[in-house]
A and B are shown apart, each in its own frame.
Chain A
Amino acid sequence: MTALWRIALRGMLARPGQPLLALLAVVLGVAIVTGVDAANGSALGAFRRAVDGLAGRATHRITGGPRGVDERVYARLRREPALRAAGLRALAPVVDGTARLLEADGSRGRTLRVVGIDPFAEAPLRPWLAFGVDSGGGFDVGTLLTTPGGVLVSAATAASLGLEPGAERTIDVTGRRRAVRVVAVLNPRDDVARRGLDDVLVCDLATGQELLDRRDRLDRIDLALDGEAAAAEVAATLPPELRLEPRGDERGRLDELTRAFRLNLRALSMLALVVGALLVHNAMQLAVVRRRGLFGLLRALGAAPRQILATVLAEAAIIGTAGALLGLPLGIALARGMLTLVGATIEDLYAPVGVHAVDDLRAADLATAAALGIGASLCAALGPALEATRVAPRVAWSRADLERSAGRAVRLGVPVGLAAIALGLAAGELPVGGLPVAFGAVFLVLIGAACLTPAATGALLALATRPLGALLGLPGRQAARGARAGLSRTAVATAALSLAVAATVGLGVMVRSFRSTVTEWLDGTLIADVYASVPTTMATRTEARMAPDALRALLAVPGVADWSTWRRVDVASERGPVELAAVRTVPASLTAFALTAGDRATAAAALAGDDAVLASEPLAVRLGLQPGDRLRLAGDHGPVEVTVAAVFRDYATERGYAVLSRAAYDRHWDDDAVASVALWAQPGLDVDGLVDRLRDAAAGLDQELVIRSNRALREASLRIFDRTFEVTTALRLLCTLVAFLGILGALTTLQLERRRETAVLRALGATPWQAAAAVVTQNALLGACAGLLAIPTGIALGWLLVDIVQRRSFGWSLLTFDVPPGVLASAVALATGAALLAALWPAWRVARQPLVDGLREE
């Protein structure tokens, strides 16, 4: 085996250009996969640490309805000796909410979690927050209890926020400004505990209720229970609005919330690796072709086909391994940039968790990324390696043999490609499997398209020969024929380029269609003139509570003709947590819901106060709901059975929600909070003037409100939409970069292999510049072919993403399928441009090449 490895290594070292570029492609592919993995993992890790670190030794938690848990229930549980005897080991009250640290200029800075605890109840659960027990840095319970706004921060958080004991800051809690003062800095020795305190302000429960406006209420009760019998015993004593759940449920929440988002990113990162693998394939193919004589000789010397196979695979393994080794650290470096984008989206949409640092990847994750890189390289090399084993002893392939073999491969690509596309489309139709199957289908179609690309490129070039000849004369015809003749070496690189460009087109089409749909949807949904809300993000929407005096002040402004209110809450149901929007409607409200199932009369009755909900499309898809279905929700007075009256189009959240009339909500839940209000101006009134008057009315309030005209809200919504696709754009560009490397490598080799051909051209009287121009023209042709072929593939991909991923996996059926001409034009331009750029160096080499060297055979 040693000899074979040596042959592999020497083969690469002799002609390092091509393997080097393949290596670079693998490096980038592995780096992108690793970077996305690390960014995803760090975001989840931050969330899990926040959950685990603050859960301490709790095994269960008691949670309530929209308003949380009545604190008197906690006091009663604590005084109950029977529960202790039954195995209730410890219980502790928690208020838990989010705030933004206000910067010196008044802007909202870092998102912080405010956690109120009772230090007297913490010893068995979170000893580092307990009274009388070591707390690392130590804190002073008397001061914590009696300092209004007194908070504890971890040493790391104190350092990153520039806080020290005695420091005073202002935080914004859903628009209310609250003063906090650092009482002490905590530094628990326990690592989980310490990291759980990242970006957390810990305070006494009294302070927590005051800061978060949670008087009389707890967000949860954490418990340590001895076994299921104890859990049953405790659960039996709870009033109907409260639930006892095991601690693990919370841990999985962000995993589940962001699963689709992360899978999307992962699929995109895998695309980069597939493009990289295609380039390895290309490199190996060329290496096999180049060394056909050597393989023939080796066979004659007694080497078995198996050993030849091993030699080629060894070469791929070297590329894959080196690519993985270099790709991993690059990926970790890349993760920082990815994390900024990923973290922002997660914080905006899913959970108020600040993700600031890239976690160290676990060895297993690194191994997986490395295995993917090496595996992809080996798979890509399998074809060329098998090809090499078919070299007969002592028989060197002739050029013609090679081209015949390449032609066979091209022809074989057609049925294989068609089969892959058919399989992909069939998989896309599968009713099961969800997002992974959907992405699998998309990949099959892409690979099928890649298989078809060589044949299609050949056909395109054949078609182009005559018009090019007419246009440019002999050089034009020569370029087209030359490009076609060289397909044995450039087809795969062209396919890779085409694939990357197609991905760009497909994603562009999908994002554009989605955006058009959302714009159209916003037009139909935003029917009021002015919107006022509490300043929260999507991630903290259920925390939004508008102060009653704020609502009164707005409604008292002259010129307000009518209003509707929204309140979003999470309630438990027999099918997991369901987001509920309690809406006070106006007669026009029904028109804002574009129904996709169910009739208007039933929907109107639901909005008028029936025990019925309108389900948003994503919710209906996720839970498999249809009009007439029933949903059992956990009300404050016991279970509430609601009928699904209709399904409506909605793009606000990917998990979906159900709309319930405020009247019905008030019947079943004890919660008078309102999160936002939509206001209608009296007919003929200037809306901007009304916005100004509303802002004046809100200016004197304790709670800051965001008051926006219809137009401003629409723009703000689209800004958020655009921001969530920034990651997609970044990954798209990275894929194109990988493809560019591929085409550069393929074309360089092509031109180097054709030195003799160009030398002949020169000998026949062509100037160096004419020879160089021929190279450039050939490349431009290949690039243009890749770009043109990317258009149908890209559009098909876009349609698949819209239909399979968006509609079937998220429940978002898009209203429009938008193929922006700009995206198509830029696809051709991108591919041609990349090819042209890649031609510069080979062209320069050709122009500088001494005639005699070129004429000499290798």
Chain B
Amino acid sequence: MIARLTTICVLTACAMSACAPRQSARAIREPLSITDVLRGTAADDAGYARAVDPRAFAFPADHGPHPDFRSEWWYFTGNLTSADGRRFGYHLTFFRNAVTPVEPAVEHASAWRTRQVWMAHFALADVAGGRVHASERFGRGALDLAGARAEPFRVWLDDWSVIAEPDGDGVSALRLRAATDDGVTLDLRLDGAKPLVLQGDAGLSRKSSTPGNASYYYSVPRFSAAGTITVGEGAIAVHGSGWFDREWSTSALDAGQVGWDWFALQLEDGAELMLYRIRRADGSSDPASEGTLITPDGGTRRLAHGEFSLAEERSWRSPRSGASYPVAWLVTVPSLGLRLRVTAALDDQELDLAFRYWEGAVDVHGSRADSPLGGVGYLEMTGYADAARAGG
């Protein structure tokens, strides 16, 4: 999730200046510097709304866009299995980013004139096939080319979309559709949603000790998913789970914050665990790192920085970026008696898009108060490619 903040900021950076000095078409495939991006954009937050205090959420309106904030996203991830046991992960995310705080004044403005830029990422991890198929789209928030609406719920960019099913209420039943240019498709129905959860302090999620460096953040931590995917030879019926994250904000991180690791784990006992760690340049975790345990009945328990630990057990080095990603973790939450081994379903889930990050399906094996407990989830890791570039 915070990593998604990076995503947005990278988008901004691409839009604002970072592409300028690049020398070749390959350059876009080189990782952009997240921290530079954040520092570069933090200076011109003036004019945007800021996430400073907890707010009163109103649904379904808050499922729709908040155009006065610089950035916002609709984030869907989940794990799928086919009838013959093939394992897949999916990731479909829509990002909105405002390039200026106010619309420029133009007389008889064209319908194309907008300050809202949209980006979408779609990735399908084929564990048996040993690869992740990733694709991205860009568009503008005009002429219905891209956008989001609260009621009935809909978020889309070109032909990629997430739309509320007619029998659903708010976001309780959704249809996800996306396809890459080389024919990998996703058509999924999510339903059976757990109640949505406000993350952080009643939905205000602080990213650093600086006031305003925060987002409004809520999640629907579990859906049942069913539908079809196409990868290679024809359509495959799949079923599994889904997780929906919503976040909007204007400013990001402090200097000295270099990346983050975000976990969204769906446990077999019906609970979910969300944890994020913000890494600092000196290797330590920022005190703003935190988490939430969602109980099977939808109750939440906020986990402070000191209440959990994330230990890296194995790393995988990307042959493309040279970045070394921890792909096996030991997650412990002593106060809950949780001790979970989180391992990547596939080591190489680094997404080679406009910027590089690792976003992928994970398996959970472990115990809660000494009883075995498994699960699945999604893990996001950013800032590693920057470190590799800085180091190399």
- Are A145 and B145 touching (Cβ within 8 A)? no
Bound Cα distance A44, B27 (Å): 35
The yes or no answer to A81 lying at the interface (CB within 8 A) is yes
- Stretch of A204-212, A292-300, A406-414, A820-828 that contacts chain B: A204-212
Check B312 for interface membership: any CB of A closer than 8 A.
no
B368 to chain A, nearest CB (A): 43
7 cross-chain pairs, A with B, having the tightest CB-CB distances, nearest first:
A138-B20, A142-B99, A206-B113, A206-B112, A209-B110, A206-B110, A120-B138
CB distance from B255 to the nearest CB of A (A): 23
Q: Taking A71-B143, A134-B28, A140-B15 as contacts, is the C-beta distance between A145 and B138 under 8 angstroms?
A: no
A147: B residues at CB distance < 8 A: 104
Residue on A nearest B160 in the bound complex, by CB: A81
Report chain B residues within 8 Å CB of A123.
138
**A364: Cβ under 8 A from any B Cβ:** no
Whose C-beta in chain B lies nearest to the C-beta of A145?
B99
Contact between chains at B111 and A138 (CB < 8 Å):
no
A120/B139 contact (C-beta < 8 A), A81-B159, A132-B19, A209-B110 known: yes
Which residues of A have CB within 8 Å of B23?
134
Checking B28, B108, B109 against A133 with a beta-carbon cut-off of 8 angstroms, the contacting residue is B28
On whether the beta carbons of A146 and B115 are closer than 8 Å, the reply is yes
Judged by a CB distance under 8 angstroms, whether A135 is at the interface is yes
Q: Determine the chain A residues whose CB is within 8 A of the CB of B159 once the complex forms.
A: 78-81, 84
CB–CB B112/A140 < 8 A: no
A96 interface residue (CB < 8 Å to B)? no
On whether A209 and B112 interact (CB within 8 A), knowing A71-B143, A72-B143, A140-B20, the answer reads yes
The answer to whether A138 touches B140, judged by C-beta atoms less than 8 angstroms apart, is no
What residues of A have a CB within 8 angstroms of the CB of B117 in the complex?
Answer: 120, 131, 141-142, 145
Q: Chain B's nearest CB lies how many Å from the CB of A540?
A: 21
Contact B110 A134 (CB under 8 A): no
Q: Known contacts A133-B28, A140-B16, A145-B117; decide if A75 and B110 are in contact (CB<8 Å).
A: no
Q: Which of A81, A137, A140, A142 has the most CB of B within 10 A?
A: A142
* Given A89-B181, A133-B25, CB of A138 within 8 Å of CB of B156: no
In the bound complex, residues from chain B placing their C-beta under 8 Å from that of A140 are 15-17, 20
Given contacts A79-B145, A206-B113, 17 further A-B contacts (CB under 8 A): A79-B158, A81-B177, A84-B179, A118-B112, A120-B138, A121-B139, A132-B354, A141-B99, A142-B12, A142-B15, A145-B99, A145-B140, A189-B24, A206-B110, A206-B111, A210-B110, A216-B111
Chain B nearest CB: distance from A177 CB in Å? 13
| 0/1 interface trace, chain A 74-97, chain B, CB 8 Å (1 if under) | 110011110011000100000000
The B338-388 residues at the A interface (CB cut-off 8 A) are: 354
Nearest B-chain residue to A184, judged by Cβ: B20
Given A142-B100, A206-B113, A120 and B179 touching (CB < 8 A)?
Answer: no
CB distance from A702 to the nearest CB of B (A): 10
B22 contact set on A, CB distance < 8 A: 134, 138
CA distance A177 to B25 in the complex (A): 37
Neighbouring B residues of A206 by C-beta, 8 Å: 106, 109-114, 142
Asked whether A215 is an interface residue with its Cβ less than 8 Å from the other chain, the reply is yes
Which residues does A use to contact B, with CB under 8 Å? 71-72, 74-75, 78-81, 84-85, 89, 118, 120-121, 123, 127, 131-135, 137-143, 145-148, 189, 204-210, 215-216
B113: chain A residues within 8 A (beta carbon): 145, 206-207, 210
Q: Mark B172-214, 1 if CB is under 8 A from A, else 0.
A: 0000010101000000000000000000000000000000000
* CA of A505 to CA of B105, assembled, Å: 63
CB distance from A181 to the nearest CB of B (A): 12
Q: Report the bound CA distance from A565 to B271 in whole Å.
A: 75
Contacts of A80 in B (CB 8 A): 159
Shortest Cβ distance from B132 into chain A, in angstroms? 21
Give the A-binding residues of B (Cβ under 8 A).
Answer: 12, 14-17, 19-25, 27-28, 99-100, 104-106, 108-115, 117, 138-140, 142-145, 156, 158-159, 177, 179, 181, 354
Q: What are 27 A-B pairs at a CB distance below 8 A?
A: A72-B143, A74-B143, A75-B144, A78-B139, A78-B145, A79-B144, A79-B145, A81-B179, A84-B181, A118-B112, A118-B140, A132-B138, A132-B354, A134-B19, A134-B24, A134-B28, A137-B20, A138-B19, A141-B15, A142-B16, A146-B99, A206-B109, A206-B110, A210-B108, A210-B109, A215-B111, A216-B111
Which residues of chain B have C-beta atoms less than 8 A from A135's C-beta? Answer: 19
Complex formed: what's the CA distance from A739 to B113 in Å? 64
| B178 CB, nearest partner CB in chain A, Å | 9
Q: Which residue of A lies closest to B11 (CB)?
A: A132
A74: B residues at CB distance < 8 A: 143
How far is B141's CA from A118's CA once the two chains are assembled, in angstroms? Answer: 12
Cα distance A189–B23 in the bound complex, in angstroms? 10
Residues on the B chain within 8 Å of A148, using CB: 104-106
Contacts of B158 in A (CB 8 A): 78-79
Which of A72, A120, A138, A215 neighbours the largest number of chain B CB atoms within 10 Å of its CB?
A120
Chain B residues within 8 Å of A78, by CB: 139, 145, 158-159
Nearest chain B CB to A141 CB, angstrom units: 4
Contacts of A138 in B (CB 8 A): 19-22
Closest to A138 in B: B20
Which residue from chain B places its CB closest to the CB of A81 in the assembled complex?
B159
**Alpha-carbon gap, A137 to B23, bound state (A):** 8
A71 to B108 CA separation, bound complex (whole angstroms): 16
**B138 contacts across to A, CB distance below 8 A:** 120, 123, 131-132
Report the bound CA distance from A588 to B334 in whole Å.
98
Residues of B within 8 A of A81 (CB): 159, 177, 179
Q: Which residues of A contact B110 (CB under 8 A)?
A: 205-210, 215
CB distance from A225 to the nearest CB of B (A): 13
**Cα distance A147–B25 in the bound complex, in angstroms:** 26
B115, A127: Cβ atoms under 8 Å?
no
Expressed in whole angstroms, the minimum distance between the Cβ of B27 and any Cβ of chain A is 6
Q: Which residues of A contact B142 (CB under 8 A)?
A: 206
Chain A residues closer than 8 Å to B24, beta-carbon distance? 134, 189
Q: How far is the CB of A684 from chain B (nearest CB, A)?
A: 42
Among candidates B19, B20, B156, residue contacting A79 with C-beta atoms closer than 8 Å:
B156
How close is B23's CB to chain A, nearest CB, in angstroms?
A: 7
CA distance A118 to B25 in the complex (A): 19
> How many angstroms between the C-alpha atoms of A716 and B143 in the bound complex?
44
B25 touching A205 by the CB < 8 A rule?
A: no
Distance (whole angstroms) from the CB of A217 to the closest CB of chain B:
10
The CA of A357 and the CA of B38, in the complex, are separated in Å by: 47
User: Whole-angstrom distance from the CB of A521 to the nearest CB of chain B?
Assistant: 41
The residues of A that contact B144 with a CB separation of less than 8 Å are: 75, 79
A92 to chain B, nearest CB (A): 12
* Chain B residues, Cβ within 8 Å of A145: 99, 113-115, 117, 140
What are the residues of chain B within 8 A of A85 when measuring CB–CB?
179
Q: Is the CB of B15 within 8 A of A131?
A: yes
Least CB distance from A77 to B in Å reads 10
Minimum C-beta distance from B79 to chain A (A): 24
A89 to B183, CA, bound (A): 11
CA separation between A133 and B181, bound complex, in Å?
Answer: 18
Question: How distant is A848 from chain B, measured CB to nearest CB, in Å?
Answer: 73
Which A residues lie within 8 Å of B28 (CB)?
Answer: 132-134
Please state if B14 and A131 are interface contacts (CB–CB under 8 Å).
yes
Give chain B residues whose Cβ lies under 8 Å from the Cβ of A131: 14-15, 117, 138
Kindly list chain A residues whose C-beta atoms are within 8 Å of the C-beta of B100: 142, 146
A132 to B97, CA, bound (A): 14
Query: Known: A84-B179, A146-B104, A148-B106. Is A71-B15 also a contact (CB below 8 A)?
Result: no
Across the interface, name the chain A residue whose C-beta is closest to B118: A120
B27 and A134 within 8 A (CB): yes
The CA-CA distance from A131 to B20 in the complex, in Å, is: 11
Q: Residues of A contacting B16 with CB < 8 Å?
A: 140-143
Query: Would A139 and B140 be within 8 Å (CB), given that A78-B158, A81-B159 are in contact?
Result: no
Most chain B CB within 10 A, of A72, A85, A137, A141, is at A141
Q: For the complex, what is the distance from the CA of A204 to the CA of B117, rounded to whole Å?
A: 13
Q: Is the CB of A134 within 8 A of B25?
A: yes
State the CA gap A341–B17 with chains docked (Å).
Answer: 44
Q: Give Cα A140–Cα B15 distance, bound, in whole angstroms.
A: 6
